[in-house]
Amino acid sequence: MIRTGSVVVDIPGVEVDAVLELEINQGALNVLGLDAADYIRVRAQSAATDLAEPAKLVIADQTITGVFLFEQTTVGTEQIIKVAATDVAIDLSVVQITGASGAIVITSTGVAGMLSIDSLSLNDIPGITAEGSAEVYINTNPTAVIESFDLGDVDPFDCLVRLVD
């Protein structure tokens, strides 16, 4: 089953520009274009005609945009949780982040994930100025983790997290 719907919020000071896409497949068959697996997947993208644009959430003039994926898959008896985001930008007035992407995979054997930030800056803090970029990796699994994330109309997002001693 594939369902798509727009998000509408009627709260003063809150603005949402997003479409949520829900996919549910409870079998091992590729049906209606769904992946052959037992999973629930939710994607958040822009409500614009071009779905490759990021979703947008504004609360009290603080903005976050991005393309987001939340997924729970069952393989045999094991549940796997996957969360990914790309094209993420955060504007919190004093902190601005652009070009961020990340992914996390949670299994019964551990957690693996990565976060990449192209640009991070602190602004409007008297006496403090900071700019930079960052990459962070974590893996508590006994082996390296390689996962691919289907974010819909944007290019697939691959996550490779090696095992670090």
The secondary structure element, H or E, covering residue 77 is none
Cα dist from 121 to 32, 53, 66, 76, 93, whole Å: 44, 23, 18, 44, 10
Query: Does the pLDDT value for residue 118 go beyond 50?
Result: yes
Mean pLDDT, residues 88-100 taken together:
91
For residue 138, the enclosing domain spans 2-161
Instruction: Name the least confident of 15-19, 26-30, 102-106.
Output: 26-30
Q: Is the pLDDT of residue 50 over 60?
A: no
pLDDT at 153: 61
- In the chain, the number of structural domains is 1
- Its pTM stands at 0.78
Cα–Cα dist 57/73, whole Å: 27
Is the pLDDT at 125 greater than 80? The verdict is yes
The shares of helix, strand and coil residues in the chain, as percent rounded to the nearest 5, are 0, 65, 35
Task: Specify the higher pLDDT residue, 129 or 118.
Answer: 118
